[in-house]
Every structure is written in C-alpha cells, then in structure tokens.
Amino acid sequence: MSRLALVHVYPPQDFLIEPQVRRALEEDFGRAGDLTTDLLLPEDQTARAVIAAREPGIICGLVAAVIAFRLVDPSVRLTPHMPDGSKVEPKQIVCELEGPARAVLSAERTALNFMGHLSGVATATNALVRQTTGTRARIVCTRKTLPGLRILQKYAVRCGGGFNHRFGLDDAVLIKDNHVAAAGGVEPAVTRARERLGHMVKIELEVDTLAQLEIALALGVDTILLDNMKPDELRGAVAMSARRAVLEASGGITLDSVRAVAETGVDYISSGAITHSARNLDLGLDFL
C-alpha cells in the first residue's frame, strides 16, 4: 500500500458530510426502499464483500462510504485496506465489508457513487501534481464544484496532492473583472475592500495583462491571479513581481499545458476541471 505523504490531507468531520450522504440515500431508496433486495434476501442473511479497483488511480471517498453503510445499518463493518489518498492498481482491494447482506446491497450504489467520483477528482488532481514535480507551483482547486459536494470535492483534491483555494465567498476577497467594472476601476475596488476588510482577510486581484499587473503590484495586494496568460507572459509576470505578491496562474489548464505553466515560476496553478469535469474512477463491490 502506498499512501500520499501529505500533511494537508485532513478528512471532513462526519457531521459536515452526513447530510449529503443521507440525501443521496433518500434519493435512492425513494418511497418504498430497496424492493429487489428486500424481496430476494431474508432479513437475517449476512455477507462479506470487498470493494476493489478496476483501474489505477488515487482512492478517495471512504469517509462517505462508511457513513452510507452506517446509515443503512450500523452493524455493517467496513475495514479499509487502502485509506483515502492511497495509490491503487487494478484488482487491488480497497476495503472489506461484513454485515447484513440487505444493508450491504442497499448502500452499495450510494457508496460507490461517492467513492468513484471523489477518487476521480483525486486522480485528476494527482495527474496535474505529478507534472509540476521539481517546480515551486502548487495545484489548487476553485469554486467550480458540483452543488452540495464542495467539501468532499476539496477533500479529494487534497487526497490527490493538491491544495485548496477558497471554500466560499467568505474566505477571502477575490476581485475579478466584473467586480472591477462594477466598482469603476481597479484602484476604487481595492480601496473599498481595504477600507471595510478585517485585518485577517487577504485580497486577490485578477489581471489579464502585464500592464494591469503593474497596477496591482503598486496597490500592494496579497495575491494576483494571472488570467489566461501564455507561458512567455507568465515568465514576464514572475520577473516583474520579484516575489512582491503571490502569483496564481489560471485559465484553461490541461495535462498537456500545466508543466510549461509550472516552469514559469508561478506559485499556484488553479484548475476548475479537476472538480467539475473529473472522470469517475472505476470501482466495484463483489460478494465473497
């Protein structure tokens, strides 16, 4: 078993994600419950099963799967063989289950839905992270998350070796082009934010030209988002800033382009695709 040695992989508390898992079960059980399982299996039948990988990737979502099985029947025991954040190969067993057969079957799809999706996010993140090896750049997520799943998707990003950007609008000030337009310019926008902002909250400003970067540096904002800049422009931005601000590259980041972006010397590279477009990792549950 190989697990990513990352100190920032801390799981969300159960009470924060149980409502999402409960809603998913309610959606699946509907009004009458699991008709197939309840008709076919006696109530006292027990079972042992495993969840195994069918393709390589990074495992994530056991935190949600445990809750899914527990909500259906607290007597189901889930024993992880490869905890969240582990690298997995095809046919490797991720966890073992033991308990009432009805509960195992009824919670199976909900558990696998969470695990497959979140493992996909972790795997997509890790693919970008591997491309930045040897550079200073860190891969970060965005707020482009699936509604209701943000805390879990951001956890999956950490399991994949990435870092989190804002969790919500209340984390920090991020002044983007529409904010600037509505406020009447960059300087008025930054000034108004500073006048009303608590001393613990940072300001990030989006720019898309080196001329705008020069203004941002003069205003002394904490972080500057370099939007849709080419590698040559990013290198110019790094040289111009001379580490006076944290630089984040964003916009259209792909597996093919991320290495060139990382080599420019930026501090962070943000990607929405790792959460909003991650492919499901293929996992399966099999009875023993």
Active site members: 109, 144, 176, 206, 227
User: Six-digit token pair at 77?
Assistant: 């025991």
| Residues linked to residue 207 through DSSP beta bridges, in sequence order | 226
CB under 8 Å to 196, separation ≥6 — which residues?
none
Q: Could you give the CA distance from residue 145 to residue 37 in angstroms, rounded to a whole number? A: 33
Burial annotation 157-187 (CB, 10 A radius, 16+ → b, else e):
bbbbbbbbbbeeeeebbbbeeebbeebeebe
Distance between start and end Cα atoms, the chain: 22
What single letter denotes the amino acid at residue 99? G
User: Six-digit token pair at 283?
Assistant: 């996992």
What single letter denotes the amino acid at residue 179? H
Distances (CA, A) of 44 to 40, 71, 100, 103: 12, 18, 7, 11
Task: Give the single-character DSSP code of 190.
Answer: H
| Continuous segment of H or E residues that includes residue 117 | helix 101-131
